[in-house]
Amino acid sequence: MPALDFDLFVTRLRFVTRRAVAFPPHGSANLIRGQFGKELFERQPDLYEQLFAPPHRTEGPSGLQDPPRPYVLRTGHLDGKSYAAGASLEFGIHIFDAQLASRFSDFPVERRTLSLARPARVIERVRVDFLSLTELKNAPRPDFGPLFTRLRDRVSGLRALYGGGALDIDFKEIGARASQVRTTIMDIHDVDRSRTSRRTGQQHPISGFVGFAEYEGDLTEFYPFLEAGHWTGVGRQTVWGKGQIAARVLD
């Protein structure tokens, strides 16, 4: 059997505010990414290129010629909070490219290997919390079939581009099985937000839903992907901090 695993690197960056700052609800990742990018562009332009403007790829899985960024920010703990000038803050970065992770040698970087193999225990009920704005392409609701297929494709795509290659699984068959999982409870609400590009001045929507859903069925083979989704995010615009989820097994 081929290895079903997924490697990533986790680090945290600390910084001091130059002036008072107020992070809007669901908006800290946008502000931090903009300032972080500005600092890198001025100080380390080559690292800026790796993080913010990765090269166009012609190889790799179909549909990924415009590649997903090799990292996500984790700043949700700052949402809706205000800080005075001189405050010390920190945020997390999950990195999916080993070469890129090596550029953060001045910070403690932890390598994690997640198993995507089917666990031994049977799992029949799961709750998924959507911790940050989540948007699934062509799926306004996070029913399990669309949620899993987007997550499957994201994990496999990141692995293909930056890690050990595309997952050797039957995408069609596993997607069909996921569509049989039932949604028993769904409590979500939509949030409308937008971001303004510093470079062009244009506004771009970064809306999505937050809340939770509970699912029931044969979830055993899918649960490792839900756990991976905590680290990778799922759906659109994950680089802006969207699509962070947390899953847990229900008795």
- For 5-113, the fitting CATH number among 2.40.30, 1.10.1740, 3.30.360, 2.60.60 is 2.40.30
Give the chain's end-to-end CA distance (angstroms, integer): 31
Question: Could you read off the pLDDT tens digit of each residue along the chain, which spans 251 residues?
Answer: 457 899 999 999 888 898 999 998 888 888 888 888 788 888 888 888 877 765 555 444 444 456 788 999 999 999 999 999 999 999 999 999 999 999 888 889 999 999 999 999 999 999 999 999 999 999 999 999 999 999 999 999 999 999 989 898 999 999 999 999 999 999 999 998 766 655 556 665 678 999 999 999 999 999 999 999 999 999 998 988 899 999 999 99
Amino acid at 212: F
pLDDT at position 64: 47
Give pLDDT, residue 31: 84
Q: 117-249 sits in which CATH class?
A: alpha beta
* Domains 5-113 and 117-249 belong to one CATH topology: no
**Domain edges within the chain:** 5-113, 117-249
Question: What ranges in the chain are assigned the alpha helix state H?
Answer: 28-43, 45-52, 98-102, 144-162, 171-178, 223-232
- C-alpha span between 37 and 73 (Å, rounded): 12
Backbone angles phi, psi at 164, to 5 degrees: -90, 15
Backbone angles phi, psi at 117, to 5 degrees: -70, 155
Contact of 127 with 222, CB cutoff 8 Å: no
Q: Strand, coil or helix: what is 71?
A: strand
| Structural contact between residues 72 and 8, judged by C-beta atoms closer than 8 angstroms | no
The confidence score (pLDDT) of residue 55 equals 55
Distance CA(75)–CA(31), nearest Å, equals 10
Percent helix, strand, coil in the chain, to 5, is 30, 30, 40
